[in-house]
Amino acid sequence: MTGVVYDDNFITHKCLWDENYSENPQRYISVLDRCNSLGLINRCIKISSRQATKEELLSKHTVEHIDLLESTEHYNDEKLEKFSSRYDSIYVHNSTYRQSLLAAGSSIELVKAVVDGRIQNGMAFVRPPGHHAMESEYSGYCFINNVAIATQYLLDKTAIQKILIVDWDIHHGQATQQMFYEDPRVLYFSIHRYEHGQFWPNLRESDFDHVGNGSGTGFNVNVPLNDTGMKNEDYMAIIHYLLIPLATEFSPDLIIVSSGYDSAIGDPKGEMLVTPACYAHITQKLMSLSCGRVVAILEGGYYLKSLAESAALTLRALLGDPCPVIGSLKQPCKSVMETIGNVIYAHRHYWDCFKYNIFYKENLPKIQYNFFDEKPEIYQTRNMYPKIDTTDFDIILNNIITETKLFNPKIKVGLISKVIEHSNNNFKNSDIYQYLKSKIRNLHVLKERQLTIEEFNIVYSSEYIKEILNKQKSIDEKKCTIKIINNEYIEDNPMFNTFSFSAGPLLQIIDSIFENEIKSGIFVSSISNLNKNEVSCTLNASIIGANYAIKKYFLKRILIIELNENVTQIYSNDQILVISMHSLLNNSKAINENNHINISWSKKILNEAEFTTIVQHLILPIAYEYNPELIIVSSTFYSNINNYINGIQMTPIMCGYLIQWLSTLANGRLILYEQDAHDNSIHRNKCLLQCSKALLGEPISQLSVANMLNFESKDILFNNIKIHRNNWKSLQL
């Protein structure tokens, strides 16, 4: 359930003496119009707007600050402009005080609705924005700090104890930083244009070395961007290498986003090249944390077309719709990687994910601050924003919007289970189905089917199956000769019949996905009457499924994640990329080719923190560069004492996180193929539950990874990156 708060009174706040002022009512109108045109608002729960009380405002602002703004309600135009000239980049209207109260109060109501359980997440379309409004100073179009007041309300009035604020507005939210600089309950993470102090607000405190103070040391994270033209790959590098590892370790109870869109492509202030769909990816990555409790509160954004599209795709992500494809992400720029290294250095003593990070360098980073202008006593109020010709960017953005496919089938997950030993049983009577049904809603069961010999021959020849049948002694050796072997003998054979049920349903899921019936699928295959290693090593259903999708739906890139033991087959197909993982202590052989990435380690078990690090630093960067059209995750959730899967500590929660992280790719077209499972253990059921919830967009429990990394963890990651660096630009850092 997603909530939204808005109020048409927000259009009354405007500049009376400069019609070209960039912060204007059309910003609000354009966002609502685009959200309505996509049918998003009607899918949300409407949260009532209200004005903040004076008590709520005083939690972060002085009484003089509030009273002075209130006094402007009766000023004439001349007095309003004179008042505005005393502050940096603001204008005041007679309605500004009331609209600021409305923006702050509405933000409180939205976060309160999340904590009360009325909604899972939400978005506030409010103005004036707030993250530059300091305790006793108006600044940067802001008067009351909406995000800070909503945050403080939660800390004071609810059981929420840890809040992550992510500020992706192009300007540093210096006021929000100041208000929580000594508070360890709030982790403030800001990505902003800085240019060594030459970009507004031109503050030394916006640099990476300002990490908090007192008990809040380490809880203020600035990611200053020192070049313009940053692209999706630069922002996603920040997300994968800094934000998600840090946020996972912090484990917030709730996340608030200061969602300014002046970092989007075409914005005259930001001068960046981030596409609207990128915000959807960041949003859904945040939704994997804090049990899905994420609130986005509108800040900046001044190119109306990119503002509206970016805000709409953020709301769409909160609603759980699949992330649009953002194309192949290449190597992040040198400048952003330097910043990432500087942030890691500054926070190395406070977070394990940075202390044992491959980007940590012992050399002291260079501090560079190049702004030395004196603050004026009187600020300019007119002709600050000459009208800009947006024709070129209009064409570019229209093309981006047209090419962005908003794929969203009504059914999010299709489920098939086949227990070969009991092939006539109804899946709805099975223990697995009954367990999942008791925990989640909207289970959609697909009709199973067998693999045909023609589909089998897409990958395997009849001669190959003959050899297997001979080895397994499944048919009379006298019948199994080259001269007389035919499809009838193969199809009637028990071994092939078993395998056809372990692959056919996978093809059914693929058909359902690409016929837009479902977004994703889960296939639970239990082959309990054959030795699992013999079958798994001999025939690979994932490869058959991938080739089937290539042939029938003309796919060009399919990613297979193999978490099973004994994956020995390598297929020379440029349209399929296989990533497999295993411990070298399990007598496994590391096989690496252009289309097969083997991630290995020389310790017995990878813990959850180590696996998370490998996913964020290696698997996801490669996956985003590869840009798959379909993902197949092949795993086995068999039960053991320590919940190990092929040398990885895979708790049910970890399984859910892996699926959630991968599902932002490929328009959400992901298939979980749980094969060769032999038991109905509680562990297996819980793994399937968490994966189902991840694909359904339902919140999963929080992952705990604190105090689990060491220098061996760092070496494992570094060695694997070194092996594959030459083949992937995203790893050439």
E strand intervals along 61-175: 121-124, 163-167
- The DSSP bridge partners found for residue 523 are 416, 673
**Single-letter residue type at 466:** K
DSSP secondary structure string for all residues of 327-369? ----PPPHHHHHHHHHHHHHTTTT-HHHHT-TT--SSPPPP--
Largest alpha-carbon pair distance within the chain? 103
Q: Is 617 a catalytic residue?
A: no
The token pair that represents 392 in the structure block: 């070129």
Given the residues 132, 582, 596, 617, select the one marked as catalytic.
132
Q: How remote is the C-alpha of 451 from its chain's centroid?
A: 35
Whole-Å CA distances, 122 to 2, 40, 110, 445, 700 = 5, 12, 7, 30, 17
Closest to 581 measured CA to CA, from 683, 649, 657, 628: 649
d(CA 672, CA 424): 23
384 Cβ neighbours under 8 A, 6+ residues apart: 18, 21, 89
Closest to 110 measured CA to CA, from 6, 180, 32, 247: 6
Q: Which helix (H) or strand (E) holds 448?
A: none
> Order of strands across the sheet with 411-419?
444-445, 411-419, 518-526, 670-674, 630-635, 558-562, 576-583, 596-601
d(CA 559, CA 566): 19
451 Cβ neighbours under 8 A, 6+ residues apart: 499, 500, 501, 503, 504, 507, 544
The token pair that represents 468 in the structure block: 């297997």
d(CA 624, CA 637): 26
The token pair that represents 52 in the structure block: 């903040």
**Single-letter residue type at 192:** H
Query: Would you please indicate which residues are annotated as catalytic (active-site) residues?
Result: 132
